Structure 1
Amino acid sequence: MNLSPKEWDLPQIIFLLLFITLLILACFWVVEPFILGFAWASMVVIATWPVMIRIQGWLWGRRCLAVIVMTMLLLLLFIIPVALLVSGLIDNSAPVIAWATSGHLQLPDLAWLKSVPMVGDKLYTGYHSLVAGGGSAMMAKIQPYIGRTTSFFMAQAGHFGRFMMHLGVMLLFSILLYWRGEQVGHGIRHFAFRLAARRGDAAVLLAAQAVRAVALGVVVTALVQGVLGGLGLAVSGIPYATLLTVLIILCCLVQLGPLVVLIPAIIWLYWSGNTTWGTVLLVWSCVVGTLDNVLRPMLIRLGADLPMILILSGVIGGLIAFGMIGLFIGPVVLAVSYRLLSVWMNESPAPEYDPEEAVEALLDEQEELKTNP
């Protein structure tokens, strides 16, 4: 018995699309509190999966023992230090906000310029002439913006309860992904293959490479430099060492390096007469400042090299969009998109002819269309 092809039923199609849309929105509504934590956990697991496999080999192939070891490593090396840094940032935020919004922010006197041999008096006189000529007025204009910017960054770190919830969710999902990582990865690849055949499968693998590049080459390097730099500040007796440690991590994430914070601390130690600890911090800063030249290439070789402007945009945009957790998720999102877009563009060869020839060819085609419509 031959059945005639069914005709299009427009109401049925509309209601079907409406039902699917409502189902997707409902699912998103349910899982929305866990999206950031799951994304964070995915980044951590993808970056550390080779380490987990190696540890599993050392532990007689027992996955449960490897998961326990990785969980302890995450707690000791990542979750507890990050939680302590954010907690310290909150504890020390009140004096910083009060100082930045007090309205008494003034340019320093810099009396030590007089002690500079030969040109000290000229430098001191020129500096104060510049201040008298408009420096104080300029500080008065930018004072409100300094206060607002400081308050914004402190407020992002101030949601400590929500941040700890994301850390807990990240740890829970990391354990589950470590335990069933192969099945989850196969399911994602199967879904991508169903969407776009081999191109979709390749896109998933490239995304994993981008995640590993950011997590290992950027985030891990920034955390290592930040922790070591903060340790040097604390040992040297620099006040607000915890707050400055967070600032070092931010500077390293945006590729400015730790010396942006460490050099003023060294100058302050020498200026206050503490030359011994100033010299110690100077030597330690040389080690911390050059560490990324060794550590980052070694780690980023496991993933893919990424432009600095991409990391900078991801860090700043992630902080504004998602808060403190966006420092880690923002660069990953942009890195994955960049890698997929780059591969898609390279599937077609770049134009080899001269730009002027291309413009002339286009103008000739337009003239032919006008003469032969």
Structure 2
Amino acid sequence: MKSLYRDMDLPQILFTLMFILLLIAACLWVVQPFILGFAWASMVVIATWPLMLKLQNLLWGRRSLAVIAMTIILLLLFIFPIALLVNSLIDNSAPVFAWATQSHMMPELTWLNSIPMIGEKLYSSYHKLVAGGGAAIMTQVQPYIGRTTGFFVAQAGHFGRFMIHLAVMLLFSVLLYWRGEQAAHGIRHFAFRMAGRRGDAAVLLAGQAIRAVALGVVVTALVQGILGGIGLAISGIPYATLLTVLMILCCLVQIGPLLVLVPAIIYLYWSGDTTWGTVLLIWSCVVGTLDNVLRPMLIRLGADLPMILILSGVIGGLIAFGMIGLFIGPVVLAVSYRLVSVWTHEAPPPGDDPLAVVEELAEHDEENPVV
């Protein structure tokens, strides 16, 4: 039987390739509004798939009941808290600025007088600044925080789109929970068709990386942020909800919750509330060190990933995709890292003695001189 491809000429191959590329571009254009939501849903489903299977076993093997239970869990533990936090961030931004521009919030700092030689000058300059009100302080600080503030104000424009992505994510999560095995089999089949057993292994490694990032980074940040927010609320710190949002973001970018907790402790001591200041200090020590125990344990459940990789993914994802990039960025880098690592280790490592390799190369150059 004569092959249909044997008589294809170069223009036919080029036009066929152009048609395929045009078809792919059109498909991406159509599904572009749903790509981020679907990617987020995929990460959530992959990370929580073992939990869904356990719930299915507990609910008499009924997939429908397990999907309903997982949907309720996502709503209660993921969708509603994020929506409330975002809404609190928007509602409290104006009161926080007004509070920051009031002079009565500033402590006296009488201990400045006890500093030798420069204490009186520092104390006098400080009180002149305070006498001008918080607005004067903000004017002095504005050149240093202007760009940072502008960045976060720009991110506020993404909040509406962020909430739409949450709704799309929930819808796709329900569909993936319902047909997860078929979707996973289809992806593995496509990967096997592309690259054989390597492609299939790449899909499995990608799943491990996604579970590691979701458990090790996101869960740890949420636990630290929520526990830190509880401590702030109990201690009577103003705008504890807004500070909880900031603390979760700091934990996601691997800065830690102490960037928020330490100023809160200082504020309590300066305001004279030493009892709650001590309580918050002890609580902050627990919350601040929690990631050293929780994150390695959770990451080890999925895959062992370098911390610099996670940090770069979180910051780069935030800049590239906005709020949703906090979750997508580290996953993309983690999957790429795992694939490159596996591909590299398929070859044997080089010899232990680099001098022997250099000598072999020198001998080879002597035997085969370049003319």
* TM-score w.r.t. length of structure 1: 0.86
Are the aligned partners of 1:213 and 1:304 in contact in 2 as well (CA < 8 Å)?
Answer: yes
Q: Is residue 56–residue 65 contact of structure 1 (8 Å, CA) maintained in 2?
A: yes
Could you tell me whether the CA contact under 8 Å between 1:59 and 1:66 is conserved in 2? yes
Tell me, yes or no, if structure 1 residue 228 matches structure 2 residue 222.
no
Deviations 1:46-99 (A, max 9, x none): 000000000000000000000000000000001111111112222233466789
Give 1:122's aligned residue: 116
Partner of 1:148: 147
Counterpart code for 1:52 = M
Distance 1:9 1:97, change over 3 A: farther
> Taking structure 1 as reference, are residues 146 and 361 closer, same or farther at Cα in structure 2, changes over 3 Å only?
farther
Q: How far off is 1:12 after superposition?
A: 1.2
Are 2:214 and 1:215 equivalent residues in the alignment? Answer: yes
Which residue is 1:76 aligned to? 76
Please state if 1:188 is matched with 2:187.
yes
**Aligned twin of 1:175:** 174
Deviations 1:342-364, CA, capped at 9 Å, x for gaps = 11111112222333444454455
CA contact (8 A) 1:44 1:215 kept: yes
1:42 aligns with 2:39: no
Pair 1:112–1:312, CA change in 2 (3 A): farther
Deviation at 1:280, TM superposition (A): 2.1
Q: For residues 1-373 of structure 1, what are the structure 2 equivalents within 5 Å?
A: 6-94=6-94, 111-114=109-112, 120-122=114-116, 125=119, 128=122, 143-144=142-143, 146-369=145-368, 371=369, 373=371
Letter of the 1:67 counterpart? V
The gaps in structure 2 that reach 5 residues or longer are 127-137
Measured in 2, the distance between the counterparts of 1:358 and 1:282 equals 57
- Give distance in 1, aligned partners of 2:14 and 2:29: 22
Aligned-residue offset at 1:191: 0.4
Give, as a single letter, the amino acid of the residue that structure 2 aligns with 1:187. G
2:93 counterpart letter in structure 1: S
Letter in 2 for 1:30: V
Q: Which range moved further: 277-286 or 303-312?
A: 277-286
> Which range moved further: 235-244 or 352-361?
352-361
Distance of 2:352 and 2:157 partners within structure 1: 55
2:309 touches 2:333 (CA, 8 Å); kept in 1?
yes
The amino acid across from 2:109 in the alignment is A
Aligned-pair CA distance for 1:242: 2.5
The Cα offsets for residues 202-239 of structure 1, whole Å up to 9 and x where unpaired, read as 00000000000000011111011111111221222222
Does structure 2 retain, via aligned residues, the 8 Å contact 1:93–1:154?
no
Query: 1:2 Cα deviation (Å)?
Result: 6.6
In 1: Cα distance, 2:359 partner to 2:110 partner: 64
CA deviation after TM superposition for structure 1 residue 160, in Å: 2.2
Distance 1:188 1:5, change over 3 A: closer
Matches of 1:183 and 1:5 in 2, distance apart?
Answer: 33
Percent identical among aligned pairs is 74
**Which sections of structure 1, spanning at least 5 residues, go unmatched?**
103-107, 133-138
Work out whether residues 236 and 281 of structure 1, in 8 Å CA contact, stay in contact via their aligned partners in 2.
Answer: yes
Which whole-Å CA distance do the structure 1 matches of 2:179 and 2:284 have between them?
Answer: 42
Q: Which amino acid aligns with 1:56?
A: Q
Residue type at the aligned position of 1:186? H
Shift, 1:43, TM fit: 0.4
**Could you say what secondary structure the match of 2:8 adopts?**
coil
Indicate if the aligned counterparts of 2:112 and 2:122 stay in contact, CA closer than 8 A.
no
Distance 1:5 1:200, change over 3 A: closer
Instruction: Tell me which amino acid in the other structure corresponds to 2:88.
Output: G
How big is the alpha-carbon RMSD for the aligned residues of Structure 1 and Structure 2? 3.0
2:365 and 2:109 map into 1 onto residues whose CA distance is 70
Structure 1 residues 364 and 125, CA, compared in 2 at 3 Å: closer, same or farther? farther
3-state SS, counterpart of residue 257 of structure 1: coil
Q: In structure 2, what is the Cα distance between the partners aligned to 1:259 and 1:48?
A: 29
